[in-house]
Amino acid sequence: MLAYLGRRLLWSLFTIWAVVTATFFIYNVLPEDPARVIAGPQARPADVARIRTQLGLDRPVHIRYGLYMSNLVSVGKPPADPKDDSAWTVGPIRIDLGVSYLKRKPVTKLLAKALPPTLLVGILALAIEVAIGAAAGVIAAMKRHGVLDYGTVALTLVGISAPTFLTGLLLQHFFARELKLFPLDGYGQTSAEQLHSAFLPALTLGLYGAAYYTRLVRDEMITLLKEDYIRTARAKGQREWVVIVRHALRNALMPLVTVVGLSMGTLVGGAIVTEKIFRWPGIGSLSVDAIVERDGPVIMGVVILFSTMVVAANFLVDLSYAVLDPRVRKR
């Protein structure tokens, strides 16, 4: 089992490095000059050149890449200023994401401020996905070829086909503008207000994933309910809900866990659009602003954070395989 986890950990680290490297070079070959964006359209060439020199953009791209990677993660290297808190520190490991071109603040501080709202929406969305998907999938499988089954399948097709921005706008219109049950946008001040404000963005993301979960659980449950051990459990007189939950649904966990891990990428991509619709002050809004402003350090920081979150989620999925399936432990 340790060998299996070791291989998965090395592969996860390689994936993060590959994503960071690809993003760095793609960003640096784009035609628009960040120094020109910072200086403004009316700036003189001399001013643009001065800003390029200050930011180090006049150096060759491979030199900039080497400097960025060498400063990104350091072990046992204390900052020059003891009061410097511009980097994340985990024991002897120091992670420095640089300073924003426009905001002139450490990227770590910008991410630390924007991360809690994104995590709040993401956790709520994941809970909505799993709850709706599992419940609807089980009900549709138990009522196969019935009205509930056909209706559930039709709704999942709508959920899969509808773009995230359209779902968000519709929910915003009906529940915020018309019914006034939730705030139109914004984050709120207290914890209760923030949780209340987060429901519509989370529902926007959750409905998209719930459609996939519903189809997956339905198909798995239909197959499992035909197995001999299910008929044996029923023949022993066990209650139907015990047969469904303890025997059928439990064995559908493996594919469900896989989809939960893979859905992290979908949540990340959907959060970028959803947060702009609801004016949610999270990582998605921060990344959109950074792309528009050509703020390279912030773009790189967002990519590193999101890729680490997605890879970590998939690593936990691999770990759960080793727990759920004894055969994996022997690899």
CATH code of the domain occupying 108-329:
1.10.3720.10
Q: What angle do CA 21, 8, 214 make, to 5 degrees?
A: 95
The encoded tokens of residue 219 equal: 């198909």
What strands lie across the sheet with 73-75, from one edge to the other? Answer: 73-75, 93-95, 88-90
- pLDDT of 326 reads 56
Instruction: Kindly state the average pLDDT of the residues 73-93.
Output: 68
pTM of the model: 0.78
pLDDT band (50, 70, 90) for residue 279: confident
- How many whole angstroms separate alpha carbon 316 and alpha carbon 199? 26
**61-72 and 2-28 are packed helices; what angle lies between their axes, rounded to 10 degrees?**
140
pLDDT band (50, 70, 90) for residue 322: low
Whether 331 has a pLDDT exceeding 60, the answer reads: no
The encoded tokens of residue 248 equal: 């059928």
Whether 330 has a pLDDT exceeding 80, the answer reads: no
Instruction: Kindly state the average pLDDT of the residues 214-233.
Output: 85
Whether 254 has a pLDDT exceeding 80, the answer reads: no
Each residue of 294-321: pLDDT tens digit? 888 899 999 888 888 888 877 777 777 6
- How many whole angstroms separate alpha carbon 17 and alpha carbon 220? 36
75 φ, ψ (degrees, to nearest 5) = -115, 125
Whether 103 has a pLDDT exceeding 80, the answer reads: yes
- How many whole angstroms separate alpha carbon 55 and alpha carbon 32? 15
- Write b or e for each residue in 30-47: b if 16 or more Cβ atoms lie within 10 A of its Cβ, otherwise e: eeeebbbbbbeeebeeee
| β-strand pairing of 73-75 with 93-95 | antiparallel
- How many whole angstroms separate alpha carbon 39 and alpha carbon 85? 28
- pLDDT of 85 reads 64
pLDDT band (50, 70, 90) for residue 239: confident
Within a 13 Å sphere around the CA of 149, how many CA atoms are in the beta-carbon half?
Answer: 13
- The average confidence (pLDDT) of the chain is 82
Find out whether 210 and 128 touch, Cβ atoms under 8 Å.
Answer: yes
List alpha helices for 172-252, DSSP H: 191-224, 228-235, 240-242, 250-251
Domain locations along the chain: 31-96, 108-329
- How many whole angstroms separate alpha carbon 270 and alpha carbon 288? 12
- How many whole angstroms separate alpha carbon 262 and alpha carbon 267? 9
Whether 82 has a pLDDT exceeding 60, the answer reads: no
Instruction: Kindly state the average pLDDT of the residues 213-224.
Output: 87
Q: What percentage of the chain exceeds 70 in pLDDT?
A: 90
Whether 81 has a pLDDT exceeding 60, the answer reads: no
